[in-house]
Structure 1
């Protein structure tokens, strides 16, 4: 009888397709066998627990350099520790494309920053300009070096591309066989609406939502998909916020457009009413696209059930509330258009989504794994090493207590970011142990994985 290095025994294994009780035999970093009565030099009893693939968060802004020279406050040590505490074992984060620096240089600089990661990571490459060197020389290089995808913005002063530039990126991506992910909002419409708000003195945080209505997201999504059709290039729509946008994606999918989509827990659990909190408090909830209404939130779930939206990410973008370079960098009397866009979400992604989806009966356990681990692994070229429980896969495993009740506080996550938008929210279902490549990395709220424990994963493009 084979004796494995580690056996996780008697847990209810959940994959994207099945649930069953069995043992998992692990040697080194890999799952070797799934069966019954397996013997191990070390055993962990998972009776009463769910055993799921480690979460893969495909949209994380970590230690990212901005055009003005600032660097996101959540560095790799802090952010990936927070991720582990919430059940995530792999993050896909963003290399910048700031002026006067080449694409390959910035990809490699960012990969070097990731040397401090506690967990495994892959890299999306942002594209903000379309000079010949970027398109013809450097996009093929970053694709060959394993970028998980290219990222394009249709809004923001320092990032947005015109339609013509977007088409150039789509053509270059097609040549290099790499996916393009898109932040879809109409830049000119938003500028127009912000100007009108400021002229009318509507400077409070809720103006962020009313200056970026669903229509500007819906229009840009339709336009992005139309351009992808022109060059037959696969795209992904990031952070879908409302059913109006999801319906556009559904129609495109039905006519054969190569488009997939993700959303985030905050669009399924928070509403724009949070932006109306007194004083500066509402700025905690400024993100783009903005939070929507309760009715729009309710309408999102059908698109998760039918697969139109196939990934749950955090869009983690942490800015401190009390810090001098975070939400208040322009002062606490600044109008909404000057507040940095983004909310922290790495640690809360899986528990908040689990509670909202599973405890309500909206989704099945297999859907939870599909959305948080398996589809992201496939989308970003990490499968089957990541995102599933099968012989030959990395032993990235969560032991999840479906009955543990936790009241979320920011103190749980030991983060550089000083708030969570879910402060005081009670959820049922929480990770109690996390294994990364066969090694216990988190145990009942204690971080065991040291900075530098993570590995860069080169995406395999189709």
Structure 2
């Protein structure tokens, strides 16, 4: 049988193990796994590891922040960067402005992505104002149309009150959607920030103390209880503390429909990264902040035990200049410095290095956290696995290649790399989206606008090992 494309002789990652095989691709989908396959085009993959394309379900792209600042990346630059790092599907945010109808917000971001996205994409409906006209109607209609996740905040100037979150949970649960939560207690943060400013502590390093771990712990516990009360599933975003993991584990043990993610900057960095001369530490400012080595150990243990299911990038790109981090001035105090850092491109190499090359969880853990679980939990059945019928989103890795990140070698529009000086072993040498190369040997081959919007299935069809709490 002839195929459009054959990936020949690679070590193919299926079922968490490697087996030498050819992959036959027809019509953008995997048609067969076997040996001796022939195709109109052949890519030789001898000595390489072939994995599914990464699925990054937490990215801020071409988005206005709560501070009123547009982040640095367009869909064109962000998805270029993603493809260069081995990610083929992203879920970013359709962020509602105060007073804006949800349908208008989603239409706005859909148009932005259609212009520029070079890889496949979906949106979280990010809610900041539940009082707008037609809110419930719009939310139900958008969920039915295939937008199967909602984002809410418990802090910032876009936070929702518990009553609104509970109402959203009930709508989402009934309609087959997942509610994602930035969980930090706003009152604890406001108190800590006021005390620091009163003491004249305004440097980037003081940002860590301004968001105490108790803020995360309390809000996670409260959101888990709201999920139980509504009988509706939640995803706790960017868990950073050992106690946060423990709250999630306890909730899942009670049978609560709770899932959770963490990010590379919490797994590999501590708050010490903020303590740099001058304003340099602002490059690593994010919320929640990086924590301690003890928290890192707890996060890794949480991933191994299944309390945390996903590693996302939380890509939040701002340039290190007056257009980004310092839009409020070069001497701005930490509350006026834009929060976030780039992560789309390095997420997969960082995790491959730690989990596969370093053996931290092995290949199965890498695939589960960065490909399979994100696809399953967010309703993307054609993504995240190498199997007949799945989209031919494939990444070819050279497991022996070591690369040290430089000062500005990412392919986004941020202008710096927060992983400068970090060496990773295992490097993506080719990325294919639905059988079409979008990167080969460091050359970007993608086409702006060629990425497809992903209509997502109702949640509730996931494997038993991904269902919250008890099976």
- Give TM class, smaller chain: over 0.9
Q: Do the aligned partners of residues 230 and 310 (structure 1) sit closer, same or farther apart at CA in structure 2, a change above 3 Å counting?
A: same
Distance in 1 (alpha carbons) for counterparts of 2:179 and 2:380: 16
State the Cα distance separating 1:398 from its structure 2 match: 0.2
The residue aligned with 2:150 is 150
The residue aligned with 2:30 is 31
Distance in 1 (alpha carbons) for counterparts of 2:254 and 2:223: 15
1:403 aligns with 2:400: yes
Using the size of structure 2 for normalisation, the TM-score is 0.95
State the Cα distance separating 1:167 from its structure 2 match: 1.0
The residue aligned with 2:46 is 47
Q: Do the aligned partners of residues 238 and 12 (structure 1) sit closer, same or farther apart at CA in structure 2, a change above 3 Å counting?
A: same
Distance in 2 (alpha carbons) for counterparts of 1:294 and 1:136: 43
Q: Give the 3-state SS of the residue equivalent to 2:184 in structure 1.
A: coil
Q: Are the aligned partners of 1:317 and 1:342 in contact in 2 as well (CA < 8 Å)?
A: yes
Q: How many corresponding residue pairs?
A: 458
State the Cα distance separating 1:16 from its structure 2 match: 4.8
Q: Give the 3-state SS of the residue equivalent to 1:279 in structure 2.
A: coil
User: Is there any run of 5+ residues in structure 1 with no aligned partner, and where?
Assistant: none
Q: Are the aligned partners of 2:221 and 2:247 in contact in 1 as well (CA < 8 Å)?
A: yes
Distance in 1 (alpha carbons) for counterparts of 2:377 and 2:104: 25
Q: Give the 3-state SS of the residue equivalent to 2:326 in structure 1.
A: coil
Q: Are the aligned partners of 1:408 and 1:425 in contact in 2 as well (CA < 8 Å)?
A: yes
The residue aligned with 1:352 is 350
1:390 aligns with 2:391: no
Q: Are the aligned partners of 2:66 and 2:156 in contact in 1 as well (CA < 8 Å)?
A: no
Q: Are the aligned partners of 1:16 and 1:370 in contact in 2 as well (CA < 8 Å)?
A: no
State the Cα distance separating 1:3 from its structure 2 match: 1.1
The residue aligned with 2:457 is 460
Q: Are the aligned partners of 1:284 and 1:321 in contact in 2 as well (CA < 8 Å)?
A: yes
Q: Are the aligned partners of 2:101 and 2:132 in contact in 1 as well (CA < 8 Å)?
A: no
The residue aligned with 1:137 is 137
Q: State how 1:441-452 maps to structure 2 within 5 Å.
A: 441-452=438-449
Distance in 1 (alpha carbons) for counterparts of 2:314 and 2:131: 28
Distance in 2 (alpha carbons) for counterparts of 1:317 and 1:216: 21
Q: Are the aligned partners of 2:409 and 2:416 in contact in 1 as well (CA < 8 Å)?
A: no
State the Cα distance separating 1:150 from its structure 2 match: 0.1
Q: Do the aligned partners of residues 163 and 19 (structure 1) sit closer, same or farther apart at CA in structure 2, a change above 3 Å counting?
A: same
Range moving further from structure 2, 352-361 or 81-90: 352-361
- 1:116-150 per-residue CA deviation (whole Å, 9 max, x = no partner) reads 10101010010112227454211101101221300
1:170 aligns with 2:169: yes
The residue aligned with 1:63 is 62
State the Cα distance separating 1:14 from its structure 2 match: 1.0
Using the size of structure 1 for normalisation, the TM-score is 0.97
Q: Give the 3-state SS of the residue equivalent to 2:216 in structure 1.
A: helix
Indicate which of 337, 342, 366 corresponds to 1:368: 366
Q: Are the aligned partners of 1:129 and 1:165 in contact in 2 as well (CA < 8 Å)?
A: no
- 1:224-265 per-residue CA deviation (whole Å, 9 max, x = no partner) reads 001111110100000111221111100100110000011111
Q: Give the 3-state SS of the residue equivalent to 1:171 in structure 2.
A: helix
Range moving further from structure 2, 341-350 or 298-307: 298-307
- 1:285-323 per-residue CA deviation (whole Å, 9 max, x = no partner) reads 11011000122112211111111111110000000002x
Q: Are the aligned partners of 2:393 and 2:435 in contact in 1 as well (CA < 8 Å)?
A: yes
Distance in 1 (alpha carbons) for counterparts of 2:408 and 2:199: 40
1:83 aligns with 2:82: yes
Q: Are the aligned partners of 1:135 and 1:169 in contact in 2 as well (CA < 8 Å)?
A: no
Give the root-mean-square deviation of aligned CA atoms.
Answer: 1.3
Distance in 1 (alpha carbons) for counterparts of 2:353 and 2:240: 19
Distance in 2 (alpha carbons) for counterparts of 1:192 and 1:16: 48
Range moving further from structure 2, 75-84 or 64-73: 64-73
- 1:337-392 per-residue CA deviation (whole Å, 9 max, x = no partner) reads 11111010000001112212223321110110111111101111111x11111111
